[in-house]
Chain A
Amino acid sequence: MSEWVHPGLLFILGAPLIPLLSWRARQVLMILIPTFAIISVVDMTPGTFGVFEFAGIAIVAGQVDKLSLVFAHVLTIMSLIGMIYALHVERPSEHVAAFLYVGSALGVVFAGDWFTLLVFWEIMAFSSAYLVFASNNGPATRAGFRYLMVHITGGVLLLSGIVIHGLETGSMLFGPIAEDGSLAYVLILISFILNAAVPPLNAWLTDAYPEATVTGAVFMSAFTTKTAVYVLLRAFPGTEILIWLGTAMAIYGVIYAVLENDCRRLLAYHIVSQVGYMVAGVGIGTEMAVNGSASHAFAHIIYKGLLFMGAGAVIHMTGKRLLTDMGGLYRTMPWTVVLYMVGAFAISAFPFFSGFVSKSMVVAAAGEDHLAVVALLLTLASSGTFLHTGLKLPYYMFFGHDSGLKAKEPPANMLTAMGIAAVLCIAIGVFPGMLYSLLPYPVHFEPYTAAHVTGSLGILMFTALGFVLLLRHLDPERTISLDTDWFYRKGARLFMWFAEKPAALWEGAVSRLADTVVLPFLHGSARLGLKVDMNVVDACVNGVARTALAWGASLRRLQTGVVTHYAMAMVGGILIGITTYFVISGG
C-alpha cells in the first residue's frame, strides 16, 4: 500500500463533524468511520509511516508491526461495535468524546516516538473523562474529577519520565527501556501501570467506570487499560515485578467482586482481574507469554465490551444499577440474558469461547517458565471469574428473586452490537487460528487438547457446585467497598478540614494579634515618632525631624502593608483550598 492512512486520524478528524450533522447523517458517520478504520488496519502492512520533524523532535506517527496491528485490529472492531451500541444516543457531545477517545487510543498504538505517545495519552485521559461527566449527576461529576485528577498525575509522571529518558539516552524513539532502575524507568513504569489499573493504582477504574454513561462505559472498558497493556508489552517485556503485580491483580479483582453490589463495578473489578493476566504475561516476557497477553487483550476487549453492554442494557431499560434492586428479568429480556451469557462464558474461558484460547496461553507460559505459584493463582482467579461474571451477576440480575421489574429488551441497535460481539466471542473460540495468525510471534500452542478441555470444565463446573452450595452467603449486600481511592477521597476531607479548622484558626489568631497588639503598637510608635518629631523640631535640626517623619511614615506603610498583604494571602489560600476541594469532590 502506497498511501498510509492513520485510522486514529479518521476518528479525530471525524469528531468535529458530528455536531454539524443531522441525527441521521451522524448515525451514518458513526458507522462509516469505524468501518473505514477497520479496512485501513486490515490493509496495513508493517513499516514506518508518518515521519516528520517537529520542534527538533523526530516524530513517528505510524510505527506499524505485528504487535501494533493486533491491537489496532481489535480497537477498530470494538469501536464499530461500541458505535452501533450508541447509535440511539442523541446528544452529539458523547459521540465526539468517544471519537476522540478511540482516535487517541489508536494514536498511542501506532506511536513510534515518546512525544506522539504522550500527546495521545493525554487526549485519551480527557476525552474518556467526558464520558463520565456526561452522566450528568453529582456522583458521576465527582468521580469524573477524581478520574481526571489521577490521570493528570499519571500524565505528569509520564512527561517527567520521558524528558529524563530523552535527556539520558538522546533518543525519543518509543521502544524497550533498559531495566536499570533509573528515575526515568521508574516514572514511566508507574505511569503505565497506573493506566493498566495495577493495585494500588487501580481505584480510578472501579470508581469511575460504573458512573459513566451506559454507552460510554463500553468504550472505557475496552480502551484505556488495553492500550496500557500494549505500551507495557512494548517498553517493559520481561520485567519480573510485573509477573507478581499481575498475579496479585488477578486475585485482587476477584476478591472485591465478591463484595460488590453495583453490577458495572463488579464487572470493573473483573477488568482489573483480567488485565492481571496480561500484565503477568508482559512480566514473563517469553514469546508465548507476549502472544498470550496480546491475544488475551484481543479476546478481552470483545467479551468485556459485551458484558458491559449487557449490564448497560439492563441499566438502560430499568434505571437500576444495584444487584439488590434487580432479579427476575429473564422473563422479559431473554435475548439480553443469552448474549450476556456468551460474554460470561468467554471471560470464564469455557471451551469454544474466546477466553479459552487466550487466557490459557498466559497460564501455559507461566507453566513453561516453571512459575508454579503463578500458574496456580491464575487458575484460582479464573474460578473466581466464572463465580462472579458467569454465576453471581447473572443470577442476581436476571434470575434470583423477582424484583417485579418488567423491562423490555433494549433497542435493536444495542442488541445488534451485542450480537456482533457474541458472534466474535464464539468465532475466536471455535477458530483460534484467526486470532493466532495476528499475534506477534509464531504460535506453538494447541488449546484443544483433551486434558485441557476436561480440566477447564472441571474447574468451571465444580466452581458452579461451590456457588450453588454457598449461594446464601453470596447475596449482594447494600454496601460499598473501601479501595485505595479512600486515600484521596478522605484525603480531600482532611485537606478541607485543615483549611477550615487549623488554618482558619491560625488566620484568625494572626489577624487578632495584628488588630490588638501589632497594629496599636505600630500606630503608637508612629505617633510617638511624630510627637518626638514635633517636640524636637524646634530644638533640633530639620534633617532629624524629616528622618523621624520618614521613619514614622514608612512604619505606617509597613504595618498596613503587612496586615493587608497577609490577609490577602490567607484569603487567596483559602480560595485555592476551596476551589481545589470543589474540583476534587466536584462540589
Chain B
Amino acid sequence: MIAKIVNFFGDTAYRKRRWILFIVVLVLVFVTDFLAPREHVEFFWDAIPGWAALFGFISCVLIIVASKFLGHQGGLMKDEDYYE
C-alpha cells in the first residue's frame, strides 16, 4: 500500500496522472479560498480571496531567483574544496 503510493509519485508511468491530480488540487485550493468566510481579518490582504495562492507563488519564485542570484553573482557559492 505504502509502496504503491510512493511509486505513484516516483514512477514516470504515472506522469500524466500526477499532472492531472496536481492541477485538480490547485484549482480546488484556489476555488475554496473564495468560499471561506472571513469574519475577522488582521490585514487588508487577508480579506482578498486567492491572495495566499498569489503570495505563495510569488514567494517561491522570488526565493529561488534571489538566492541563486546571491549564490552565483553575489559569490556565495564556491568550489567544494574552497577551504581545503
> Which residues of chain A have a CB within 8 Å of any CB of chain B?
254-259, 328, 330-331, 334-335, 337-338, 364, 367-368, 370, 372, 375-376, 379-380, 383-384, 387, 398-399, 449-451, 453-468, 470, 473-474, 477-482, 489
Contact = CB atoms under 8 A, between A and B. Distances in A.
A384 B68 CA distance: 13
Consensus secondary structure, chain B interface: helix
B76 A482 contact: yes
A254 B26 CA distance: 24
B83 to A, nearest CB: 6
Contacts of A331: 7, 10
Nearest to B32: A454
Nearest 4 pairs between A and B by C-beta? A466-B60, A458-B52, A258-B67, A459-B56
Nearest to A457: B29
A328 to B, nearest CB: 8
Given A338-B5, A450-B37, A458-B29, A481 B55 contact: no
B46 A255 contact: no
A451 B33 CA distance: 7
B14 to A, nearest CB: 12
Nearest to B62: A380
A334 B37 CA distance: 39
A256 B70 CA distance: 9
Contacts of B56: 383, 458-463, 466
8 contacts: A379-B59, A380-B55, A383-B60, A387-B63, A387-B64, A456-B52, A461-B29, A480-B83
Given A454-B29, A480-B82, A473 B68 contact: yes
B10 A458 contact: no
Given A380-B59, A383-B55, 10 more contacts: A255-B70, A257-B67, A258-B63, A259-B76, A334-B3, A379-B59, A455-B51, A458-B30, A458-B55, A464-B22
A459 B64 CA distance: 15
Contacts of A372: 43
B6 to A, nearest CB: 4
Contacts of B70: 255, 259
A465 B29 CA distance: 12
Interface in B27-60: 29-30, 32-33, 35-38, 42-43, 46, 50-57, 59-60
A477 B35 CA distance: 42
B36 A450 contact: yes
A102 to B, nearest CB: 31
Interface size class of B (residues with CB under 8 A): 35 or more
A140 to B, nearest CB: 14
B64 A451 contact: no
Contact of A466 (B7, B32, B57, B71): B57
A334 B29 contact: no
Contacts of B32: 454, 457
Contacts of A489: 83
B10 A399 contact: yes
Contact of A334 (B7, B25, B59): B7
A467 B64 CA distance: 9
B53 A462 contact: yes
Interface string B68-84: 10110001111110110
B43 A259 contact: no
A127 B61 CA distance: 41
Of A364, A450, A451, A464, most buried by chain B (CB within 10 Å of CB) is A451
Contact of A459 (B38, B59, B78): B59
A364 B3 CA distance: 38
A155 B20 CA distance: 55
B67 A459 contact: no
A398 to B, nearest CB: 7
A463 B59 contact: yes
A258 B59 CA distance: 13
